[in-house]
């Protein structure tokens, strides 16, 4: 493998935290050897153009690189892409496949993803607010109400966030509920009447009281949301179709999409109690509860992976291609299909910016897995 392929392999494995101390020193030496090397590394590190197929190799001679690929391909044993053989095939073929895929794009006149970025756009801050009386309001940057008086609270909308302020009244008010819904490709923030901050991810909804009048503060979630709960002394309950999360004051993330097989509750700080048909479980910071039809399991995790979406990132760690595509489709708002069913069980690891063109993300996935994408009739097919 010539130097360009070797350095590309080091960078790729650095992003997966798989470099030895010796290899880290070698990569550090390459970065210091030339300002251009460091500039290229920073581009990849920042994920602005991360791992687009030409990024790593564009400063090297393509013809020599292609000869290196051809010679290695001639010596490499072909391994069928069966589910059980994938990890062994990847170990043998991955470095060569990354390089050959990159060079293939250079030499292929027709781009199978041509036009995809003109049709499929990144998501943005947008939502629909449904008031207690059924009236709906679209919340977007340039088209949204700024202030609404609603019984025991005043609603203000500014800087792509709702905020509820209790109005001064001594009379007991009937509890009324609003609902905030984000579409595919949307996210929005709301500050509830008690000061609790909630950020909704794409294709999610939160039903909540305009003002909390009961001894228990309860909200109802479908989809995914990050909660920063204000401590008032009254319990705060997040209810989904299959579980309840009880807290006093803390930060946590709940992912409860109806089209996914599990519900994930990830604790950032404080403590929460997850209540299900399998009984209650108490979480500590850095732990996650995973609820399936058959069990409720608790395990330690890296919370940053599960809250990356809050910072405009996608972070995948050994995620199946089926999970990756479902996540991307929620944000970019596209339809997709698997032309190759085997591809569903391929795995992808990476961290990317959710404002990148969709083509950049798909090409990065092509460069680091066995998967191929095509865009036709406004739909992405996976091969």
pTM above 0.75, yes or no: no
User: What single-letter DSSP state applies at residue 195?
Assistant: S
Q: Give the dihedral of Cα atoms 55, 57, 58, 64; nearest 10 deg.
A: -160
pLDDT at res. 72: 45
3-state secondary structure 137-159: EEECCCCCCCEEEECCEEEEEEC
pLDDT at res. 335: 96
3-state secondary structure 46-85: HCCCCCCCCCCCCCCCHHHHHHHHHHHHHHCCCCCCCCCC
User: What single-letter DSSP state applies at residue 233?
Assistant: S
| Full pLDDT tens readout for the chain, 383 residues | 456 667 777 777 776 667 787 888 888 888 888 887 877 777 666 543 444 434 444 444 434 444 444 444 444 444 344 444 444 444 444 555 555 555 454 445 568 988 999 999 999 999 999 998 999 988 875 556 678 877 778 888 887 789 988 776 656 667 889 999 999 999 999 999 999 999 999 999 999 999 888 788 999 999 999 999 999 989 999 999 999 999 988 999 999 999 999 999 999 999 999 999 999 999 999 999 999 999 999 999 999 999 999 999 999 989 999 999 999 999 999 999 999 999 998 999 988 899 999 999 999 899 888 899 999 999 999 99
What CA–CA distance (Å, rounded) separates 100 from 69? Answer: 6
pLDDT at res. 143: 56
Phi, psi angles (nearest 5°) of residue 364: -65, -40
Coil, strand, or helix at residue 209? strand
Contacts of residue 221, defined as CB under 8 A and 6 or more positions apart, other chains included, come to 204, 205, 206, 207, 238, 239, 240, 254, 256
What CA–CA distance (Å, rounded) separates 340 from 99? Answer: 23
What CA–CA distance (Å, rounded) separates 310 from 298? Answer: 23
What CA–CA distance (Å, rounded) separates 49 from 227? Answer: 31
User: What single-letter DSSP state applies at residue 230?
Assistant: P
Which residue, among 13, 5, 3, 14, has the nearest Cα to 101 in the 3D structure? 5
Domains of the chain: 3-107 (no CATH), 124-307 (2.60.120.1440), 312-382 (3.55.50.30)
pLDDT at res. 277: 94
């Amino acid at each position: 493998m010539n130097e360009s392929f070797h350095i590309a392999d080091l960078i790729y494995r650095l992003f997966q935290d798989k470099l030895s101390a010796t290899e880290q020193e070698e990569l550090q030496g390459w970065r210091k050897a030339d300002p251009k090397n460091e500039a290229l590394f920073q581009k990849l590190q920042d994920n602005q153009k991360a791992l687009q197929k030409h990024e790593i190799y564009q400063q090297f001679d393509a013809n020599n690189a292609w000869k290196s690929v051809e010679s290695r391909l001639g010596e490499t044993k072909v391994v069928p892409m069966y589910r059980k053989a994938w990890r062994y095939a990847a170990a043998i073929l991955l470095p060569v496949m990354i390089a050959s895929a990159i060079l293939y794009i250079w030499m292929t006149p027709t781009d199978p993803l041509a036009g995809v970025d003109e049709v499929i756009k990144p998501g943005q801050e947008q939502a629909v607010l449904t008031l207690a009386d059924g009236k709906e309001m679209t919340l977007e940057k340039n088209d949204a109400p700024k202030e609404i008086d609603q019984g025991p609270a005043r609603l203000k909308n500014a800087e792509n966030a709702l905020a509820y302020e209790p109005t001064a009244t001594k009379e007991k008010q009937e509890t009324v509920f609003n609902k905030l819904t984000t579409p595919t490709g949307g996210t929005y923030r709301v500050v509830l009447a008690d000061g609790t901050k909630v950020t909704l991810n794409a294709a999610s909804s939160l039903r909540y009281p305009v003002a909390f009048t009961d001894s228990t503060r309860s909200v109802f979630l479908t989809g995914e949301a990050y909660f920063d709960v204000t401590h008032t002394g009254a319990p705060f309950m997040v209810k989904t179709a299959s579980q309840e999360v009880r807290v006093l004051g803390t930060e946590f993330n709940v992912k409860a999409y109806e089209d996914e097989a599990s519900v994930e509750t990830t604790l950032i700080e404080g403590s929460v109690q997850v209540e299900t048909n399998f009984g209650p479980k108490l979480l500590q910071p850095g732990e996650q509860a995973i609820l399936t039809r058959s069990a409720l399991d608790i395990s330690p995790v890296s919370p940053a992976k599960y809250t990356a979406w809050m910072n405009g990132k996608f972070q995948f760690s050994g995620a199946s291609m089926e999970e990756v595509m479902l996540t991307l489709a929620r944000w970019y708002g596209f339809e997709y299909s698997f032309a190759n069913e085997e591809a569903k069980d391929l795995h992808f690891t990476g961290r990317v910016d959710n404002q990148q063109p969709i083509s950049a993300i798909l090409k990065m996935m092509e460069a680091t897995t066995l998967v191929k994408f095509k865009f036709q009739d406004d739909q992405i097919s996976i091969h």
